[in-house]
Amino acid sequence: MVADGLDELDRYIIHSLQLDARNTPAREIAEAMDVSPSTVRNRIHRLEEEGYVRGYHLDIDYERAGFQLYTLIICTAPIPDRERLAQEAVEVPGVVSVREIMTGAGNVHIVAVGTDSDDLSRIGQDLNALGFEIVDEDIVRNEYSHPYHGFAGDDSRSN
């Protein structure tokens, strides 16, 4: 590995996993980078152990699954308490993710899934009881993501 902790192979592995971690075999990455599949598997294991790769997450269509209220809740938390409150918020039933924001009044973004408006009200009350001030709530229609281009590299092997 290089000084910043990631070399070309590591970056290619990360980019490939961002594209489709479930359906990208080590053999395919190995062929593209001219290394052995065991080298790729060892690198993936090391990237996980060292915290570069923190997990593999499902992308769920909540609406199709019957949960119409996929909601972004913008909150304000006191700066000294923000991290603790964010960690506590993920334990609220219905909360699926929490993002700490470094600037602005809405310094915590919480994604929650509710079965109905009463359920969303309960989630809001639970967050308020933890110490959050709810600034805004928005129903999310769709969310899109894409691999970070910085891992793609400059050569033709990159997707």
What's the pLDDT at 77? 95
**pTM here?**
0.77
pLDDT tens column, 57-100 = 888 888 888 888 999 999 999 999 999 999 999 999 999 999 99
Average pLDDT score, the chain: 90
Token output for 45:
């294991």
What's the pLDDT at 67? 87
pLDDT tens column, 16-32 = 999 889 999 999 999 99
Position with higher pLDDT, 81 vs 141: 81
Q: Cβ-count burial of 118 within 10 angstroms (0-12 exposed, 13-18 middle, 19+ buried)?
A: exposed
What's the pLDDT at 112? 96
Task: Indicate whether 131 pLDDT > 80.
Answer: yes
pLDDT tens column, 100-112 = 999 888 999 999 9
Q: Cβ-count burial of 134 within 10 angstroms (0-12 exposed, 13-18 middle, 19+ buried)?
A: middle
Helix H segments across 56-151? 82-89, 117-130
Confidence of residue 155 (pLDDT cuts 50, 70, 90): low
Query: What structural domains does the chain harbor?
Result: 8-56 (1.10.10.10), 69-139 (3.30.70.920)
